[in-house]
Amino acid sequence: MEWHDGVPSQRGLAAMIQHSGQPPPSTPFTCGLITALRVHGAAGDDALGIGDVGPDVAALQRALQRCGFPSIVEDGDFGRRTATAVEQVQAVHRLPVTGRVDTRTAIALGLV
């Protein structure tokens, strides 16, 4: 498995899904309904990003863990590792790669 900044690389994640022995999900990284994420970041732009804290960030981190990012710690603090994992999910889903969780990214993660 290839790693980048403490999280699996896109190629590593694709290989993990392919060789897991289970059929791949219909949409990569969609792990089902985890919680109703209220996307309201501290910046006031309806997106979660670096520096945000609280239960919404913890829900995001749980979703990332379930989607193949075991190094993400569920501490409710949106840091660089969380942002890197979000960027990788966004790239796979062909969303704008911002590292911030807007509504489209939350949907891709199965949070809403």
pLDDT tens readout for residues 74-110: 999 999 999 999 999 999 999 999 999 999 999 999 8
Q: Could you read off the pLDDT of 6-18 as tens digits, one per residue?
A: 444 555 555 544 4
Contact of 58 with 76, CB cutoff 8 Å: yes
Model pTM score:
0.65
Distance CA 71, CA 102 (A): 22
Distance CA 53, CA 34 (A): 18
Side-chain half-sphere of 97: how many Cα atoms within 13 Å? 9
Beta pairing partners, 48: 101
Q: Could you read off the pLDDT of 42-77 as tens digits, one per residue?
A: 555 679 999 999 999 999 999 999 888 999 999 999
Side-chain half-sphere of 80: how many Cα atoms within 13 Å? 3
Q: State the helix-helix crossing angle for 80-92 and 55-66, rounded to 10 degrees.
A: 50
